[in-house]
Amino acid sequence: MIDFTLLGELLPVFGQAALRTLVLVAVGMAGGLVLGFAMNAARETGVRALTALYWAYTTVWRGVPFLVHLFIVYFGLPSAGVRLDPFQAAALTLAVYSGAYFAEIFRACWQRIGRGQIEAARCMGLTRRQVFTHIACPQALRASLPLIANQAILVMKESALASVITYPELTMTAGKVVAEQFVYVEPYLLLALAYWALAVLINRLGGYLRRRVAL
Amino acid sequence: MDPNSSTRAGSAPVPMVSMRGVGKSFGSHRVLSGIDLDVQAGEVVSLIGPSGSGKTTLLRCMNFLEAYDEGEVWIRGALLGYRKTGAGLVPESDRGIAEVRSPVAMVFQQFNLWPHMTVLANVMAPLTLAKGMRPDRARAVAGEALARVGLSAKADALPGALSGGQQQRVGIARALAVQPEVMLLDEPTSALDPELVDEVLEVIKSLSSDGMTMVMVTHEMSFAAEVSDRVVFMEQGRIVAAGTPDRIIRRPDHPRLQAFLRPWFRRSLQGSAAAGAQA
C-alpha cells in the first residue's frame, strides 16, 4: 500500500530536486538551442567546411548514447585538464547533445521553405543574409516550435542520467531515498509524477508560445 | 542613355535585354541552344511554345535565376552573371549580379509571396531591404503600387487570405514597386482558376499601355496576340520563329507553329461561332 504520510514527507525533497532538474534542463536547452541554431545557420551558408562540420557534429552527437557522452565529458575531460563539477558537466553535455537534435529540427524547417520564395527574394535584390533573417527565420522558427517542444521533453528525460555522475536531480534523489529508507513505491511514484508534471509544463509552454507567434 | 555603358553600343539604342548565343544544359539534357534575342525599351515580347520547349528557362536566364552556360546575357549593356577577364568569363559575385539585374523584376507562376508578411509588407520588403528606402517612404511607394493593381483594401491581409488572382496582383505590385525597367512574367495566369485570369490580364494590359517593357511566358494566345509587340515561338530549346502577333499567332506560316496553334484556333473558332449563334 502507499504510505501517504511518507509521501507527504518526501514532497519537499522532491520539489527541490524537481527544481534542480528544471534548471539543468533549462540551461541545457538554452545552450542546445543556441548551438543548434548556429550550426544550422552555418550549414545554410553553403560553405563546404561548415557543412562538413555540421554533418560531423549532428551524426556524432546523435549517434552515441547520451550516457557515453556524459562519461567522456565528466570522466574524460579532466585528463585534458578540464575539470567540471557534476552540474557543469551535465548541463554542457545536455546542451551539446540536444543541440544536435535542434540543429536537425532547424534544418528540416529551413528546407521546408519553398524554393520560389527564396528565388523571389534573391531576384528582388535581397542578400543571402537578408533572406535568412527576413524570409527564412520567421517561417522556419514558427514551424520548429512544436518540434522543439517535443524534443524538450526528450531532453528533460535524458537529464535523469545526470544522477549517474552524482548531480542531485530527481532520479538521484529518488535513488537516495530508496537506499537510505528501504522504501520503493513512494519515491518512484513521486519520481514518475514529477517527470510527468515537468513534461506537461513543457508542453503547455510550447503551446503557449505557438499561439503567441501564430499567423 | 549613356552609350559608353555598353561595350557594343552602335547608333541603335542599347537594348533592355540582349541575349547572344545563350545555351543551357541540365546535366546532359540540353534545354536552350543558340538563343539570340533583343528586347527593346517599351517592347512587350511573349514567349510561346509547347511545354518543355525552354520558355521558362530562357526567361529565368534573363535575371540569372538560372545560370546560362553558353553565350552572353546583357541587361542595358551590362553583362549579367559573369565578368570578362583575360582568361574569359568568370562567375560574378552575388553583389555584382544583384547590381546588374536591379532593373529587372519578376512575376512568378506560383506568385511566391512571403506568407508570413502582410500584403503591404510583401511589397515594402524589397524597397527597405534591397533598396535601403526609409520605411515611411517605402510604405508610400508600396501603397501606390497596391493601388495600381486595385488592392489597397487588402494591404493588411496575409497572402493566404487572398484569392489566387489577388495574390498574383500583389506579386505584380511587388515587382512594380521597385520601379523596374523590365518585367519578366513567368506564366502569370497558369496557376489561376479560369474565372480569376481576367483580373490579372487586365493589370498586365494596363502596364503594357503605360509603356512597361515586358517579357512574358504565356499559354494565353489571344492575350499574347493582343498585347505583344513581338511573339517568339520556341521548340526544343530553340527559337523557331519570331515576329509580330499577326505573323506568328494570327497567320502562322511555319508548319510547326501551325501545328502548335491548331488546338487554340479550333477553340477560338468554336468560341466565335458560339458568340455568333448568340448574337
**A62 residue type, one letter:** R
Using a CB-CB distance cutoff of 8 angstroms, which residues of chain B are in contact with residue A137?
A: none
Cα distance between residue A101 and residue A98, in whole Å: 5
State the CATH number of the domain containing residue A137: 1.10.3720.10
| pLDDT, mean of residues B169-179 | 97
Does residue B31 contact residue B69 with C-beta atoms inside 8 Å? Answer: no
Q: At which residue does the C-alpha cell 507562376 appear?
A: B109
Using a CB-CB distance cutoff of 8 angstroms, which residues of chain A are in contact with residue B125?
A: 121, 124, 126, 134
The answer, yes or no, to whether residue B7 has pLDDT greater than 60, is no
Question: A206 pLDDT band (50/70/90 cuts)?
Answer: very high
pLDDT tens for residues A6-60?
999 999 999 999 999 999 999 999 999 999 999 999 999 999 999 999 999 999 9
pTM for this model (two decimals): 0.87
Q: What is the SS3 assignment for A5-70? A: HHHHHHHHHHHHHHHHHHHHHHHHHHHHHHHHHHHHHHHHCCCHHHHHHHHHHHHHHHHCCHHHHH
| pLDDT, mean of residues B77-85 | 94
Q: A149 is written with which cell numbers?
A: 517542444
Question: A1 pLDDT band (50/70/90 cuts)?
Answer: confident
Residue B72 pairs with which residues in a beta bridge?
B20
The answer, yes or no, to whether residue B272 has pLDDT greater than 90, is no
B268 to A65, A99, A184, B220, B233: CA distances (angstroms): 69, 61, 85, 11, 19
Residue B217 pairs with which residues in a beta bridge?
B47, B186
Mean pLDDT of chain B: 92
Mean pLDDT of chain A: 96
Q: Which pLDDT does position B275 carry in this prediction?
A: 62
Residue B46: which H helix or E strand, with range?
A: strand B44-48
CB contact under 8 A, A125 and B125: no
CB-nearest partner of A215 from B110, B131, B158: B158
Q: At which residue does the C-alpha cell 511607394 appear?
A: B141
**A215 residue type, one letter:** L
Chosen from A123, A126, A145, A215 to mutate, greatest number of chain B CBs within 10 A = A123
Q: How many CB pairs under 8 A join A and B?
A: 66
**B212 residue type, one letter:** M
Interchain CB contact of B96 with A (< 8 Å): no
Question: B10 pLDDT band (50/70/90 cuts)?
Answer: low
Interface ipTM: 0.88
Chosen from B64, B110, B114 to mutate, greatest number of chain A CBs within 10 A = B114
CB contact under 8 A, B130 and A135: no
E strands, B176-246, where? 182-186, 213-217, 230-235, 238-243
Interchain CB contact of A141 with B (< 8 Å): no
Q: Which pLDDT does position B87 carry in this prediction?
A: 86
Structurally, chain A folds into a number of domains equal to 1
Radius of gyration of chain B (CA): 20
Cα distance between residue B252 and residue A117, in whole Å: 38
Higher-pLDDT residue of A29, B88: A29
pLDDT tens for residues A50-84?
999 999 999 999 999 999 999 999 999 999 999 99
Range of the domain at A158: 4-213
Cα distance between residue B153 and residue B163, in whole Å: 14
Interchain CB contact of B101 with A (< 8 Å): yes
Beta strand B44-48 with B213-217 is parallel
C-alpha triplet A131, B92, B84: angle, nearest 5°: 165
Question: A207 pLDDT band (50/70/90 cuts)?
Answer: very high
Interface of A with B in 12-31 (CB under 8 A): none
Cα distance between residue B258 and residue B270, in whole Å: 18
pLDDT tens for residues B217-257?
999 999 999 999 999 999 999 999 999 999 999 999 999 99
